[in-house]
Chains A and B, each alone.
Chain A
Amino acid sequence: MSTEYNAFITETTIEPTSEGPLSGRTVAVKDNISTADVRTTCGSAMLEEYVPSYDATVVERLTAAGATIVGKANMDEFGMGGTTETSAFGPTENPRAPGRVAGGSSGGSAAAVAGGKADLALGTDTGGSIRNPAAFCGVVGLKPTYGLVSRYGLIAYANSLEQIGPIAPTVEETAMLLDVIAGPDENDATTHQNGTDADYAAAADGNVDGMTVGVLESLRDGADDRVVDAFDDAVAELEAQGATVVEIELDSIDHALAAYYVIAMSEASSNLARFDGVRYGVSGGYEGDWNEAFAMSREKGFGEEVKRRILLGTYALSAGYHEKYYKKAQDARAWVKQDFDAAFEKADVLASPTMPVLPPEIGDSLDDPLQLYQIDANTVPVNLANLPAISVPAGRADGSPVGVQLVGPAFDEHRLIRAASALE
C-alpha cells in the first residue's frame, strides 16, 4: 500500500489561495473531483495519467477559504461500489476496524479523516457514498440536498443523483465545511440560490427539544441486530433530550433500490461514453476501426464493476426495455419523493441505521454483485428524492463503528445538523 490505510491515490500539497475559515486546516479531496495540474484518476486505470487543466468549483472554494489540500483520496472506480475495493489502486483499510473495509465509494476520504491523515475531507454521494464510509469509519458525513453544492469539475457517474459533500470528525466541522462549499455556481446550472450565507455551523447547538423524529421502521428491521441495538440507543438518547419519537412506514421504499440501480447504471452508460482513449484515457494504439479501438481501450481501462454497470445501463436503455426498466424506475423515483413529502408532515427528521451491516472484512464481499448492491438499501432512497441526509457515529458493535442516518426536507440542512449534534 502506497500510503497508510491506502487512503490516498496521490499525496500532494495544494496551497491555499487566501486566508479564511479553513486556514490551518488540511483537507483530503476524493479523486473524482478535478484538481488543476494534479492527476485525477477516479480510482480507474482509464484515468491513471489524466491531469485536469482546471479546478472543480469546490476546490477553488476550499483553497480560497484557507484550506490546504493534502491528497486525492482513494475511491471505488468511478464511484461504483460500496467498499472501496473496486479501486484500480487497491482497497482502503478501515482505520477504526483493522482488516475491514472503509466503506465506499468515498472510502479514502473517510479513512483519511478517521486515521488522522486530514482534518476534513470531501466525498461524493450518488447512492450513499459519503454516508456509508462515514458510518463504517466512525466519522460524520453529510449528503447535501441536490443543487446545494456545485458539481462543476466532478467527473460525472450518475449526475441526477450525485452530490459533493463534507466528511469530518464532528458535526460542527462537517457544517463548517458545508458552509465553505455550498451555494450557487454559474458553471453548474443545477445549483440553487440556497446556501449563500447559510451559517450551517451555528446550527450545531444540540437542541432537539420539541423535535419529532420519525423512525423508518422497515429500514430498522432490515438491519443486523447489533446495528439495531446501537441505533435504538441513539434514538433513546434523542428522546431523553426532549424529542418525540414516531414510527414511519414508506410504502415505496422496497422498490427504491431497484429503481436507483436502473437510473444510476443508465446514466453511467451515457456519462462514461466519453472515455474513448482519444481525447483522454488509456489508448493502446490498437489496430482496427474506431469502434474496435474504442472497445479495446475500454476493455483495458475499465474494471469489472464499471463494465458491469455500463452494460446493464446500456441494456436498460435499449429498444424494447426502456419502458420496462427506465420508465418504471422514474415512476418509482417519483413515488419515493411523494412518500418522503408525506412523512415530513408527521416528523421533522427521519432516522434509520446508515448501513444495515457492519463493515465486512477486506475481500469478503466482492463475489456477488447483487448482494453488494443491497448494502445501499438505507441510503439510496434519499438520493432518489434529492434530499439531504447525514450519518453520525452511534457507538460500536463487535469492535466496528455504527452510524445513524438522519434525513431532512430539501434545503433544511440546519435541521439535520441540529439533530445530529445532539447525538455527540
Chain B
Amino acid sequence: MSEDAVDADAVHHVADLARVALTESEAERFEAQFGDILGYFDSLDEVPEIERESDLVNVMRPDEQRPSLNQDEALDNAAETEDGYFKGPRVS
C-alpha cells in the first residue's frame, strides 16, 4: 500500500477483512495516516536477512481432564443466550 497509493477503497477493503465498520470521517483520516505509517514501515526493506537461532522449546503437559468454567459462568458476559447457549446473529 505504501508503494501503491493508500486510497479509500484500500482502507475499506482492509476494514472489511478485519470486520471493523468505519465511519466516513475515520476512513478519511486513516487514508492519510496509513500512507505515513506504512511509508515508515518501508524502512524494514533495509533489514538484512538474519539467521535466526530458535531458542524455543515445546512445553507439554499430560492431557488430563481439569476443572474449567461451567456453562453458567461461560455465559455470564453474553448479551443474549438461549437454552444454555450463546445466541449470535444469523450466519448468512
Interface residues, chain B, CB within 8 Å of chain A?
A: 1, 11, 14-23, 26, 29-30, 33-34, 36-38, 40-41, 43-52, 59, 61, 69, 73-74, 76-80, 86-92
Tell me the nearest residue of chain B to A47, going by C-beta: B77
Tell me the nearest residue of chain B to A332, going by C-beta: B47
CB distance from A276 to the nearest CB of B (A): 8
Contact A321 B20 (CB under 8 A): no
Tell me the nearest residue of chain A to B79, going by C-beta: A283
Residues of A within 8 A of B17 (CB): 314, 318
- 7 smallest beta-carbon distances between A and B, as pairs: A299-B21, A283-B79, A280-B77, A293-B89, A328-B44, A189-B59, A314-B18
Known contacts: A311-B30, A314-B14, A331-B49. The answer to whether A299 contacts B44 by CB under 8 A is no
Interface residues, chain A, CB within 8 Å of chain B?
A: 49-51, 53-54, 186, 189-190, 254-255, 258-259, 261-262, 269, 273, 276-283, 285-286, 288-296, 298-299, 302, 304, 307-308, 310-312, 314-316, 318, 321, 324-325, 328-332, 334-335, 338, 369-370, 373
CA distance A302 to B23 in the complex (A): 12
Contact A370 B37 (CB under 8 A): yes
Contact A331 B48 (CB under 8 A): yes
CA distance A50 to B76 in the complex (A): 9
CB distance from B80 to the nearest CB of A (A): 7
Contact B47 A291 (CB under 8 A): no
CB distance from A388 to the nearest CB of B (A): 16
Contact A277 B20 (CB under 8 A): no
CA distance A332 to B87 in the complex (A): 44
CA distance A217 to B86 in the complex (A): 55
CB distance from A259 to the nearest CB of B (A): 6
Residues of A within 8 A of B59 (CB): 189-190
CA distance A288 to B92 in the complex (A): 8
Contact A329 B44 (CB under 8 A): yes
Residues of B within 8 A of A292 (CB): 89
Contact A289 B92 (CB under 8 A): yes
Known contacts: A314-B17, A334-B52. The answer to whether A286 contacts B89 by CB under 8 A is yes
Contact A255 B47 (CB under 8 A): yes
Which of A53, A262, A279, A289 makes the CB contact (< 8 A) with B41? A262
Which of A259, A280, A312, A316 makes the CB contact (< 8 A) with B78? A280
Contact A290 B20 (CB under 8 A): no
Residues of A within 8 A of B46 (CB): 255
Contact A279 B50 (CB under 8 A): no
Residues of A within 8 A of B50 (CB): 331-332, 334-335, 338
Contact B20 A295 (CB under 8 A): yes
Residues of A within 8 A of B36 (CB): 370
With a 10 A CB-CB cut-off, give which of B1, B50, B89, B92 has the most chain A CB atoms.
Answer: B89
CB distance from A46 to the nearest CB of B (A): 11
Contact A328 B47 (CB under 8 A): yes
Known contacts: A186-B61, A332-B47. The answer to whether A53 contacts B76 by CB under 8 A is yes
Contact A318 B14 (CB under 8 A): yes
Tell me the nearest residue of chain B to A39, going by C-beta: B77
Tell me the nearest residue of chain A to B16, going by C-beta: A295
Known contacts: A370-B33, A370-B36. The answer to whether A53 contacts B69 by CB under 8 A is yes
Contact A279 B77 (CB under 8 A): yes
